[in-house]
Amino acid sequence: MSENMNLKLKIWRQKNAGDKGRFVEYDMENVSPDESFLEMMDELNEKLTHDNLEPVEFDSDCREGICGTCGLVVNGEAHGPLRATTMCQVHMREFKGMTKLTVEPWRTKAFPVLKDLVVDRGALDKIQQAGGYISINTGNAPDAHAIQVPKEASDLAMDAAACIGCGACVAACPNASASLFTAAKISQFALLPQGGPERKRRAAQMVTQMDIEGFGDCSNLGECEAACPKEISISNIARMKREFVGAMLG
């Protein structure tokens, strides 16, 4: 049985987007290594509330590694130390031997801090909205074999569609690029025949919107792929660039 942990938490506190913000330290004693990181944060907030102090705001929803709203940077790593894992699925045993944890929000101009560890990721929604809808009329549900799709293409499209839009790729990238997110959303349609009619327009508008939102460009460092909880491949970025150039050339 693992021993409980005593930790010093260095957490970013910020009242709103206009506040300068600062780190505040909190002591957490007797933390179970078997509880999740977010459960530990809940315990901290119970302690703060009991002491009539303002609890720490952080995002979470499903707590099952599905939605990605729990995104945090812990000790400089987006979603914590585990690969292919969202923050809500990280357990305290992963920090065994550590005595101090630094907890920050996603850091990029395109994700303004709303309060403490909560950021506005609406910029990603705007990129996806810029892609619009597919116009192909399907009518009633078609037979599964009505449109032939090569297995390799369908597999790649499904892999790209696994992106949950958490923003870890942006938080991990030194340039705060949203290229992996945008590329995944472009690829999931570009690889399938149903996405063909708007293929060029979609790529042009989504990449343009990404630039408008203030994200940086891709330097092909691979930090985004390493931080992605769904392991989206950076090969999608190469596809996005090909799609964009093709759209610009008409």
Which CATH class name applies to 121-135+148-248? mainly alpha
Q: Give residue-wise pLDDT tens across range 40-81.
A: 999 999 999 999 999 999 999 999 999 999 999 999 999 999
Q: How far apart are CA 28 and CA 47, in angstroms?
A: 9
Residue 113's Cβ-count burial label (10 Å; 0-12, 13-18, 19+) is buried
Average pLDDT of the residues in 9-25: 97
Q: Give residue-wise pLDDT tens across range 107-128.
A: 999 999 999 999 999 999 999 9
Choose which CATH entry (3.30.565.10, 3.10.20.30, 3.80.30.20, 3.90.1150.10) describes domain 5-104. Answer: 3.10.20.30
Q: Give residue-wise pLDDT tens across range 230-250.
A: 999 999 999 999 999 999 997
- Domain spans, the chain: 5-104, 121-135+148-248
Q: How far apart are CA 156 and CA 89, in angstroms?
A: 25
Residue 1 has a pLDDT of 59
